[in-house]
Chains A and B, each alone.
Chain A
Amino acid sequence: MTTDIRFGTDGWRAVIGADFTYQNLRRVADAAARVIAAENPGGLVLVGYDTRFEADSFARAAADVLAARGLRVRLSDRYLPTPALCWAVAHDAEAIAGVMLTASHNPAPYLGFKLRMADGGASPKSFTDRVEAELAAEAPVHDDAAAARVETADLVGPYLEALRAMVDPGLIAKAGLRVAVDPLYGAGQTYLAETLRSFGVEVAELHGERNPGFGGLHPEPIPPHIAEVQEYVREHGLDAAFITDGDADRIGAADSNGVFVNPHRIIALVARHLVEDRGMSGRIVKTLSTSVLVDRLAAHLGSKVTTTPVGFKWIYEEMLKGDVLIGGEESGGIGVPTHVRERDGLLMALLLAEMMGQRGMGLGDLVADLLETVGTMEYGRTDLKLEPAVMDRFRAAMPTLAPPVLAGLEVREIIRADGIKFLLPDDAWLLLRTSGTEPLVRVYAEAADFARVDALLAAGRMLVDGV
């Protein structure tokens, strides 16, 4: 039976050996090739891959198929982060698209096929819809002559040079930093550690080798998956930990006490650094589920904030409009468009290191200083898996949901866009979003302390229960 292949938020993802087979990959690559070649016959496509099981071989197979459709193909000669491929596409005048074999933050059994456009940004839905429409039932026949035309090249080196040029080596060097880097066995391995080392930073890298099973780790840079590096930082008295996800486009961090520095705080810290220390300007773009800390900081900096629905594609759209300094979301995907219109975990780590150097402060102190300036807010999120009947009932009730009080707090305003967001006193809020593909409701909350966050998450759950 032919596998039903659908592109999700960022490409096609499936379990290796189950749906992610050479046969299916070649079908997808062929459909993508036909759509790309229809607009740019003979155009150059860059192909990269992460550290997953056989990702390099799958990438080679995809490259061969693209070449067979008359496209020029340049295949990375080593694994690389997604932002590296995006940067390479954006900075090669000839490149019209990129293909990245990665399953990002998904667990080890998965692999995926991401498409990137000429500016390095993700392919819009209209484009992937066309690819889906072009999918043939059978994989194309292997073409030896086309495969022989595939070039291989180092796509990482120039990117790393560009990355190094984004920061001031002197500022980082003078801090005498000792940090841990945890790429979670993903494609950030070696690259971030070596870049930091080249600036004189003493780096201990955890999970920095090829391990297609990810040692059972879920390569997502948030607790509990980062427990080991949090403990390592504490035990060895290091200044910070930087963690990247499976394809290194997301960032997480921990301070010298091993305390997780969440992506909201990283967005705020980097924005503050770019504006106050670097004198840069522009809009700060966040999503509906991103912390109010960002809004408060923007007010403090005199910067404008644009709030989008959840998903980096919306941030990318704002980047296209221009005048964006930084854009980020709660998953840890944060990007600076002057570098590339894509999330980049490595760049965020370097900017945090630069900020530590420039201000002569540890990461924990930077967070404390931020919270002193804008006030403390704590954040929580929980995913509710529901029985289909309960999900249907909630979907039906959602448009008219208007509780006057949540967890004892008066509901001051309700925003019905990309879910339903309740604004509460003292900048607290609760957001409920339904998944489009499964019976799942995502509940987000922010308040001045964890007790209120926990109470709001529970109140959100009870709203979803609806009885």
Chain B
Amino acid sequence: MRVLLDCRMASWTGVGRYTRGLAGALGGREDIELVELVAPGEEPTTPGGESYESAGHPFSPGGARTFARALREVQADIVHCAHFPTPFPMPHPLVVTVHDFIPLSVAGVMPSSARRLAYRLMIRRAIRGADRIITLSEHSARATREFYAPAGGRISVTPAAADDFAAGEIGALPPVVAGLGRYVFGFGNTRPHKRLDVLLRAWASAEPSLPADVALVLTGDEPEGFVNAAIGDLPRPARIIWLGRTDDETLRALYARATAFVFPSSHEGFGLPPLEAMMFGAPVICSDAASLPEVVGNAALLVPPLDVGALANAITRLVTDPAFAGDLAERGRVRAMGFTWTRTAELTTAVYQQVLTSRY
């Protein structure tokens, strides 16, 4: 079957990782003739694969119209939107991947009420019009049903994967980290649902009782005033290292050598970072929230979301109990192997087939 996959957002984080992973695996299937809709000047994910350029920002009305024009040229059996922006007018059969509703459900993620309204209308249009909806977790499937009840019977869950990421080169540790004894690793993402504030408070609580050779290593640059605001009255921690921008090779090295990876996010549509960390053998601590328990299963230390004390205890336990940390890392490695893009593509193809069986 000929499938047009919207890959215009392939260079984005999150959605882009999903799009590239899926496109790469679909492109390798014999039963799929993949055409990637790409942003101007971008190459398809599959080397030598068929692609079609489409101008205009994916979220703009112009982008929706150029997408629709592309459909007339490509003549696909199925159109798959890897994110909620859909063509105008809407084609059928249409498959839409819905990742999450975080901008609508977490205060502060999208502060502009006008943008939230536009977002709500766009995602509603996509869900209402799609012949099948894909989510990457059961949690997101439930959220989609809550957002739009009639969608209930049309949702299929196809978990994402990180095997493409894990297959990449492992770079060198940044010198500032290489000189450390041990480190707990996390992301310095300040978006409200990522709960960097909770991680900082937990670290500030735990640090005094941790061995002196252990530091907290965070990606990104220290946001001005964020640490002080987050930790409030707690003593200012001394051992936090901000790495600035990190590339994938460095990120793989950071996962591979971490004493623990901490992901305190309260809202996720899937949760790729814990999966990546598990693939590299980093023991994982994450929130028992949203889709995260589905991803990590019993192979991570789950803590109640926003519970600073529990998170501090979990960090302390992984740092001070190497046997437990090693066991968790091993379980994580085994669990992570079950997630592959090949499997995602297989499940996605089954969704395409379900849609096409309506034709006879």
Contacts and interface: CB of A to CB of B under 8 A. Distances in A.
A465 B128 contact: yes
B358 A387 contact: no
A390 interface: yes
A170 interface: no
A458 B154 contact: no
A157 interface: no
Interface stretch (B144-152, B189-197, B251-259, B278-286): B144-152
A403 interface: no
B93 interface: yes
Contacts of B359: 378-380, 450, 453-454
Contact of B358 (A381, A389, A455, A462): A381
A458 B94 CA distance: 9
Interface string B172-184: 0000000000000
A458 B92 contact: yes
A223 B357 contact: yes
Contacts of A379: 359-360
A223 B356 CA distance: 9
Interface string A215-231: 00000001110000000
A144 B152 CA distance: 54
B6 interface: no
A451 B153 CA distance: 23
A260 interface: yes
Nearest to B152: A387
Contacts of A387: 145, 149-150, 152-153
Contacts of B152: 385-387, 390
B93 A454 contact: yes
A382 interface: yes
Nearest to B127: A465
A461 interface: yes
Interface residues of B, number: 21
Contacts of B129: 458, 462
Interface string A436-467: 00000000000000110111011001101111
A377 interface: no
Contact of B149 (A262, A380, A382, A390): A390
Nearest to A388: B152
A390 B152 CA distance: 9
Given A224-B353, A458-B129, A262 B150 contact: no
Nearest to A407: B92
A241 to B, nearest CB: 15
A409 to B, nearest CB: 14
A327 to B, nearest CB: 20
B288 interface: no
10 contacts: A222-B357, A222-B360, A260-B360, A390-B152, A450-B359, A454-B91, A454-B131, A457-B358, A458-B129, A462-B128
Given A222-B360, A380-B358, A382-B131, 18 more contacts: A223-B360, A260-B360, A380-B359, A381-B358, A384-B154, A385-B152, A387-B145, A387-B149, A390-B150, A453-B359, A454-B91, A458-B90, A458-B129, A461-B154, A465-B150, A466-B150, A467-B128, A467-B150
